[in-house]
A = this chain, B = another copy of it.
Amino acid sequence: MPTQGSTRTLSPAALSRLSTELRLACMRISRRVRFESSDVIAPHQFSVLCRLEQGPRTPRELADIEKVSAPSMTRTTSALVDKGLVSRADDPEDGRQVILSLTHEGRTLLRDIRRRRDAWVVTRVDDLTAEEQEVLRRATEILAKVAAA
């Protein structure tokens, strides 16, 4: 039996239609955000910087988290080190490992990229009515729950 979903109001057809429309709307928003905020680094590089923001990591950990091969992660992190966004240090306890950290420059870049991405959404959400904004606020909570499920 379903976890909740008991107060049923949607027909199967309406459920299907809502799901399709919702999925398409989310995809379009994502695409517009990516397109408009012409990033200075590639998506996979951005993703790795975000991981390092939470704390230093080894290449192995990053490869596992990002679900790419070790050689691919070597390539990605080398590019970030070359750009001065990430620093490499030897692990004092295990000579096989290296420890990757975000540099100050990397942290600044992350903040700038986020600000630019947000800008696109902010100008559009600002144009909505207070009621529409409230709907989006509640929807965001629900979507976060859905995405985490």
Contacts and interface: CB of A to CB of B under 8 A. Distances in A.
A131 B117 CA distance: 30
B18 A133 contact: yes
A101 B114 CA distance: 40
Contacts of A132: 142
A29 B25 CA distance: 10
B23 A29 contact: yes
23 contacts: A3-B127, A4-B129, A5-B126, A10-B130, A10-B133, A15-B122, A15-B126, A18-B133, A18-B136, A21-B144, A22-B136, A22-B140, A23-B33, A23-B118, A26-B29, A28-B147, A29-B143, A32-B147, A121-B146, A128-B146, A135-B138, A135-B142, A138-B139
Interface string A86-128: 0000000000000000000000000000100110011011111
A21 B140 contact: yes
A70 interface: no
A55 interface: no
A68 to B, nearest CB: 14
A79 interface: no
A143 B25 contact: yes
